[in-house]
Structure 1
C-alpha cells in the first residue's frame, strides 16, 4: 500500500476540525461485528536461535488488517464546539458529516446534517437524559453529561448522537466515527503548502482580522477589521482554510452554505494530500506530526484498518450531496431546522442502498463545487 493512500482516512476525519474549539480528537469505532485484528507476534530476542523451516504448501500470508472490510460503510464525522473560553459550556456537535461508502469501497457520498436539525433524541440512562425533541447538536451535550460530576464523557455523547442520527436517517449501523476540533488542522494545511479552493461566494470572517489575528470580543460580539474571502480561485493558508469553512453568519443560506464550504474543503485537502509526494517516510511523518494529538482511538477497529480498506477511495470518487431545509418555530420563536422532502428522500435512499438511482432522479442535490 502506498503511504500516500493511508492519509485518506486520517485526513477525512481530521478535516472535520474546521468546526470550532481547541483540544484533542477522538476516533470512536462502533457497530463493527468483524473481529479485531490480531496483534503481531513479538520479534525474537537477539539470543534466541533462528530455525530454518520449510513452509507448508497450504500456508499463506496473513491478510492486511482491514482487508475484510468490503462495504458498504457509513462513517460519522463530528466537529465539536467546545467553547473552552466560556465556563460550563456544554459540548455541542457543531458540524455533522456522514460518509457513505459503496460496496467495493471505491466510491462514496459525503453529506451533512444541519447542526440545528430538530430530531427526537432518545433517552440515555448513562447521562440521565430523559429524551425529547431537540436540535441534533444538543445530543452530544446531553449525552456527555456525567450525573453529579463536572467532568464530561465525550464518548457517551457521541454514542447518543449516533443513536439520534440513526433513528432519524434510518442508517442503523455506523461502523466508525471521529470527533474532532481545531487541533492541528491549520498546521496540516500549511505542511501541504496550503490548498487551492474555488470560493463560490463572498465570505466575511466573524473571528479573524485580515492578518489572521483574532478579532476583539466586546459585548458578546466581535469588533474590528475582518478577513474577507472573495469569489474565485484562491490559495489558502492553514488559518485561512479553517476560518473560511467556519463561517455561517452573513451568508445567504447560513449553515447550509457553511456545510457546502466544509465539504469543498474536505475534497481540496484530500486532493492536495494525495497529489503530494508522501512516499518519502520523512515527509509522511512530518504530515502526521503536524496533526498533533488530534486522533485517539477508543475501542473497536483501529484507524489503520479503515485506512487500508479505503485505500482505493480517491477524492474523484466522492460525490458531495447538498441537503437543504428550512427553519421551524412555534409562537414566533425559532426551534430549529427541518429537511425538505427531497433531502429526506435521499436519506431513505442511503438506508436502502439506492443512492445512485435517487440522485439520477434528483440531480440538483449533487454539489458540483
Structure 2
C-alpha cells in the first residue's frame, strides 16, 4: 500500500543518522564504549550471496581490502526495529501523525560507495519518486514503493506460518528490504554489499546525541506540514527541529530535489560533528550516541559494523562526497502512481560510474575504475523546471 500524502512527507530524513553509525569508529576514540554496539543491534538476512564480500574478513584495524556499496534507507514506518509500534507521544513529537499514517516506503535512499582503502566515500541520493522497474515482477512504479510492495506481498505466507504481531512485522520487513535492494541494484547497476535502515525515532535521538548539527538556510521558512519554522542563516538543529529541516519539501522550488540538498548538507554537518574528537571525548555524549543507534538501526546479517568502522579510520568528513542522480522530469504522469520523477537508467548508471571513479576515490586504493574528476555537488537540469535543482553538501541551502 502506498503512503498517504501526509505519510509521504515524513520519511525524508530517517536514513540520515545511519551515516553516523557507520563513521562512529573512524577516529578510534573510546573504542571500548563503541563496542557496546555489538549488543542491541537488529540484523536481517537480506544480502544475496552475490553481494557478500569475500574481503569482509579483513583484520580489524587494517584498511578495507575490497570496494563496497552500502544501501542506506529510511523506512517511513510507525514501528521500531523490533516490530513494536512507536508510542503516540513519540509520533506527536515527530509530527508523524498516527500509527496508521505510515506506509513502509523508503522515502530516503542513499547508496554509499566506499573504495578499497576506506579513506573516501561517495554518497549518491536517489529521489524517492524515481519511476523505475520494481524487482519481483511488480512493474514500473516509484522506487520508494519497492519496500512496501515486497513487504505486503509476503504477509499472507508469513501469517500462514503462524507469525503475528512484532514477529510478523520483522519478517515482512526483511522481505521488503530484499525487494528494495534488488530494485536499487537493477536501477543503479551496482551490487549492494551491505544494508542499513533506521526508524522514525532514530534520527531524532542521533541528532540530539551529537549535540545538534549546524546548517544554513538562504531564506527563512515556515511550513506547517513538516513543522519547519526557521530564520535565514546558520543555526544548530537537533531533535524535532532537525527532522523538520530535512523533511520539508512544500514551498521549495524543486520539491524533493531541494529536500535532498538539505539532507546532504545535514549529513555533511553530522559527519563533521561525529568525526570530531569532541564527540568522542565527552563520555555522556558518546554513550547517548551508542544508545541512539541501538534499537534504531537494522543492519544486514553478518555485517561486523565495528570492524568495518575500524577499517575506515583514515576517513575524514572532507573525504565524503555527495551527489544526486540525474533526473529528466519532476512531473512524469504515470498510469497509477500520480506524478513521478522521470529517470533514464542508462544515464543514471553512467553518472554513478563517473562519480565513483574520481581521483579522490582512486587515491584511497580502488584501482578497478578509471580516473574522472570528482563531483561533491551535483547540478541536474530538469525538463520541467525553470532553474536547475542543485544538491550541495556545503554552504546555505534553500
- TM-score normalised to structure 1 length: 0.70
> Which residue of the partner structure matches residue 34 of structure 1?
54
- Deviation at 1:257? 0.7
In terms of fraction of residues, the more helix-rich structure is: 2
Would the alpha carbon gap of residues 349 and 294 (structure 1) be closer, same or farther in structure 2, given more than 3 Å must change?
same
- Deviation at 1:205? 3.2
Matched, 1:114 2:121: no
- Deviation at 1:176? 0.8
What aligned pairs does 1:330-349 form with structure 2 within 5 A after superposition? 330=334, 334-339=338-343, 343=348, 345-349=350-354
Gaps of 5+ in 1: 1-6, 14-23, 38-62, 124-129, 209-225
Query: Structure 1, residues 103-153: CA drift from partner, whole Å, max 9, x if none?
Result: 321112112101011111122xxxxxx421111111000111224247441
Q: Of the two, which has the highest radius of gyration? A: 1
CA distance in 1, matches of 2:288, 2:255: 36
Match of 1:195 among 185, 208, 213: 213
> Which residue of the partner structure matches residue 30 of structure 2?
none
- Deviation at 1:95? 0.8
Matched, 1:367 2:392: yes
CA distance in 2, matches of 1:331, 1:122: 18
Aligned to 1:270, what secondary structure does the other structure show? helix
Matched, 1:178 2:196: yes
Would the alpha carbon gap of residues 207 and 26 (structure 1) be closer, same or farther in structure 2, given more than 3 Å must change?
farther
> Which residue of the partner structure matches residue 285 of structure 1?
287
- Deviation at 1:74? 1.0
CA distance in 2, matches of 1:227, 1:68: 41
- Deviation at 1:160? 1.0
CA distance in 1, matches of 2:324, 2:370: 13
Match of 1:143 among 133, 141, 150: 150
- Deviation at 1:227? 4.0
**Is the 2:128–2:144 contact (alpha carbons within 8 Å) kept by the matching residues of 1?**
yes
Would the alpha carbon gap of residues 263 and 356 (structure 1) be closer, same or farther in structure 2, given more than 3 Å must change?
farther
CA RMSD of aligned residues (A): 3.4
What aligned pairs does 1:288-303 form with structure 2 within 5 A after superposition? 288-303=290-305
Query: Structure 1, residues 322-360: CA drift from partner, whole Å, max 9, x if none?
Result: 334222115898341123686553124358765851647
Larger mean Cα displacement after TM superposition, 337-346 or 136-145: 337-346
Larger mean Cα displacement after TM superposition, 294-303 or 69-78: 294-303
Matched, 1:72 2:92: no
Aligned pair count reads 303
> Which residue of the partner structure matches residue 54 of structure 1?
none
> Which residue of the partner structure matches residue 131 of structure 1?
138
**Is the 2:20–2:270 contact (alpha carbons within 8 Å) kept by the matching residues of 1?**
no
**Is the 2:71–2:194 contact (alpha carbons within 8 Å) kept by the matching residues of 1?**
yes
Match of 1:315 among 314, 317, 321: 317
CA distance in 2, matches of 1:76, 1:166: 10
Query: Structure 1, residues 154-197: CA drift from partner, whole Å, max 9, x if none?
Result: 122111111111111111x2111111122233233223322211
- Deviation at 1:302? 1.7
Would the alpha carbon gap of residues 8 and 67 (structure 1) be closer, same or farther in structure 2, given more than 3 Å must change?
farther
- Deviation at 1:200? 3.8
> Which residue of the partner structure matches residue 176 of structure 2?
157
> Which residue of the partner structure matches residue 244 of structure 1?
245
- Deviation at 1:238? 2.2
Matched, 1:98 2:111: yes
CA distance in 2, matches of 1:184, 1:313: 24
Gaps of 5+ in 2: 1-17, 25-40, 80-97, 358-367, 381-390
- Deviation at 1:239? 1.8
Query: Structure 1, residues 73-123: CA drift from partner, whole Å, max 9, x if none?
Result: 211100111156254953111111111122321112112101011111122
